[in-house]
């Protein structure tokens, strides 16, 4: 089994267009019934000081089975560890064990970019990113890869270093820093909520343009954007039911999902069913996209002779 550390993977450079192509292929294979993506298992202690996930999936186009684990601890200091183990389902041999942090940081904005491409109203020209953390800094390069027609790019955040990093992520393009969140939302065709849990941002449904799109990855959008949307899309309705509980109404109920991204990509469902619709899209990670991108990295690492090959079961 080839072991790939975070620093190993950082030496393999993949551009947004390449990542998006791999992620889209994974969604299409899932829609075609070639791949499997069971719901994740979640474990959280009563006091909420940590949260753990376990995910199993199979990529049918690559013939790869994988296990992903994720553990976040956040009491006095925050720790986050995630790993991906890949197995060849044709030979039965282990392929690779790798850090999955960087992979998740790429496949998530790729999914948001695909949601935006499919769900944004025709003629969309303005985008707003809420948040300047890891996802905020990745959002615009991926978004403009699927929507090169975007002319105006805005960012809302409260950390100077993060705002600078978002601007630096788009060399040659102007990124406006906005202070009035409501005014910026009212002008934006596409709004991405990628802030962290401590954000005070909470976009309300009536701030959105009549045909606006909002995509939620982390935080920054109020539950009303879901419940008052004309149409709701998700990467996976089942995953949204697990990870989107903070969006539930006063009765603990989530708004039903009208369509899933894999079905939209293959033409089995529509993103928009009419004009003038406000769309809410929920981006939850699917392990099939981690598998596809992880396998892509593993092959590149093998070609370069990177990582450490170990016989774990000797």
Q: What is the dihedral of CA 299, 300, 305, 310, to 10 degrees?
A: -40
- Count Cβ atoms below 10 Å from residue 78 Cβ, excluding itself: 9
* 282-293: pLDDT as tens digits: 999 899 999 999
**Residue appearing with tokens 């998530």:** 108
Q: What is the pLDDT of residue 7?
A: 96
119, 271 in Cβ contact below 8 A?
A: yes
Alpha helices in 170-256 (DSSP H): 181-187, 224-227, 237-243
84 C-beta neighbours (distance < 10 Å), count: 27
Q: Of 71, 58, 122, 128, which is closest to residue 294 (Cα–Cα)?
A: 58
CA 81/CA 53 separation, integer angstroms: 11
- Sign of the alpha-carbon dihedral angle for 180, 219, 217, 274: negative
Task: Check residue 314 and give its pLDDT.
Answer: 87
**Hey, which bits of the chain come out as E strands?**
2-4, 41-43, 50-59, 64-74, 78-88, 94-99, 126-130, 152-156, 175-177, 190-193, 213-216, 231-234, 259-260, 279-282, 308-309
Q: Check residue 55 and give its pLDDT.
A: 95
| Contact (Cβ atoms closer than 8 angstroms) between residue 193 and residue 168 | no
Rg of the chain over CA atoms, in angstroms?
A: 19
Cβ neighbours around 196 below 10 Å, total = 16
Give pTM, 2 decimals: 0.94
Give the pLDDT of residue 203. 97
Q: Identify which of 192, 197, 162 has the alpha carbon closest to the alpha carbon of residue 177.
A: 162
pLDDT for 75? 76
Tokens of 4: 């790939």
Task: Please give the chain's pLDDT, 314 residues, in tens.
Answer: 999 999 999 999 999 999 999 999 999 999 999 999 998 888 999 998 999 999 999 999 999 999 999 999 987 778 999 999 999 999 999 999 999 999 999 999 999 999 999 999 999 999 999 999 999 999 999 999 999 999 999 999 999 999 999 999 999 999 999 999 999 999 999 999 999 988 999 999 999 999 999 999 999 999 999 999 999 999 999 989 988 989 999 899 999 999 999 999 999 999 999 889 999 999 998 999 999 999 999 999 999 999 999 998 88
């Amino acid at each position: 089994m080839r072991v790939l550390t975070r620093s190993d993977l950082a030496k393999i450079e993949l551009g947004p267009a390449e990542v998006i192509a791999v992620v889209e292929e994974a969604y299409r294979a899932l829609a075609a019934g070639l791949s499997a993506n069971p719901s994740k298992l979640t474990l959280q202690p009563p006091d909420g000081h940590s949260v753990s996930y376990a995910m199993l999936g199979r990529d049918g186009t690559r013939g790869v089975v994988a296990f992903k684990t994720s553990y976040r601890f956040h009491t006095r200091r925050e720790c986050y560890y995630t790993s991906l183990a890949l197995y060849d389902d044709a030979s039965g041999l282990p392929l690779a064990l790798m850090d999955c942090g960087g992979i998740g940081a790429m496949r998530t904005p790729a999914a948001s970019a695909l949601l935006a491409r499919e769900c944004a109203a025709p003629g969309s020209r303005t985008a707003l990113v809420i948040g300047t953390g890891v996802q905020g800094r990745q959002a615009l390069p991926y978004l403009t890869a699927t929507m090169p027609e975007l002319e105006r790019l805005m960012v809302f955040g409260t950390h100077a270093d993060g705002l600078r990093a978002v601007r630096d992520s788009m060399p040659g393009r102007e990124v406006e820093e906005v202070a009035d969140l409501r005014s910026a939302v009212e002008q934006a065709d596409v709004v991405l909520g990628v802030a962290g849990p401590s954000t005070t941002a909470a976009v309300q449904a009536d701030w959105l343009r009549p045909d606006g799109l909002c995509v939620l990855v982390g935080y920054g959008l109020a539950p009303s954007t879901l419940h008052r949307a004309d149409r709701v899309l998700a990467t996976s309705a089942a995953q949204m039911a697990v990870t989107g509980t903070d969006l539930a109404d006063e009765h603990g109920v989530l708004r039903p999902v009208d369509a899933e991204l894999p079905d939209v990509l293959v033409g089995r469902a529509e993103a928009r069913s009419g004009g003038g619709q406000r769309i809410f899209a929920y981006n939850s990670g699917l392990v099939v996209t981690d598998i596809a991108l992880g396998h892509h990295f593993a092959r590149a690492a093998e070609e370069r002779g990177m990582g450490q090959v170990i016989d774990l079961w000797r």
